[in-house]
Structure 1
C-alpha cells in the first residue's frame, strides 16, 4: 500500500510520514527530497535555474514512479504537488494508494510558518503576520479543491504529532 500525505507547508507531512513509516514498517519517501536527489540540486535551485514548469514536470514524473511501487510506502508530497499535472487524479486512480490531507487552519499555518520562515525560501521574504496570512490564504484558496479530494482528511490544529499519527492510523486501518 502507498499512503500519500498531502497538505500545506508546515502541516506535518514529513514528520507524520516518518512516524507512520516507523510504526507500520513502511518505507518513507519525501517527494521533494527525492527530486533533490534525482536532480542533484535543491528544490529552490531547480526552480531558479530550470524554472517552475521543468520542476512540475519532474515532480509529476517522480510521483508517478512512486505510485507504481510494489513496496509499502508513506509518500509525503510537496504542498503544490496535488494541484499540477493531474497529479491528484493519478493519486486517486492508483488502486493501492490512499490519500490523506493533513488539514491545518490558516491561523495555525501562519503561526507555524512565521517561526520557520527562515528555513523556507518560498516565504523567507514575508515580513509581517498580515502579509503571511494573505500569502497562505491565497494559496489555500487555490489548493483547497485539490486537497479536499483526498480520501481522508485529518485536522491537525491543537494536536501533537503523536495524536495526529494515531488518528491517521485509526482512520486508515
Structure 2
C-alpha cells in the first residue's frame, strides 16, 4: 500500500512539473495585441508620421514642425504647455511664403505674404505679426503666440541678489 501511495505521488509531481515547465502560447492573447514600431508608418513622401515628421512644401523635405516652426497656441489653451492643440508656422528664407501646420490637418497650408509688414494669407487663413503672431480664420482669431527674436536674452547677467 505504501508503495502504491509513493508511486502515485511521484507520478503526480512528474506530470505537474511537466505542465509547469512547458512554454505555452495563448493564440487569443497574441491575436489581440498589436505593437507600434516607430519608423514603419511612412506617408507618400516617406515621412515617418509616428515620429512627428510631415512633408514640407517649402523645404521639399520631411520636417518636424514642432522643432522647426513657430508655435501658435489655441486661444482657449494659451496658458497650457501641451502642443496637441498648437499650430506651427515655418517661414521661407526669403520671407515671401510661410507654411502653416494645423493640429488635426494631414497637409499643410501655404500662406503668401500680403505686404512687407509680415502679414500672410491663404486658404482663408490670415497670419499677422503685429504684437506677436496671431492666426485667424475669417474674422475670428483662433491661435496666438509671442514673437521670438533671434538672439533674444532673458534674465540678468548680474548676481541673483542684484536688482535690474
Q: As a proportion of its length, which structure holds more strand? A: 2
- Asked which structure has the greater RCO (Cα within 8 Å, sep 6+), the reply is 1
Give the TM-score, by structure 1 length. Answer: 0.24
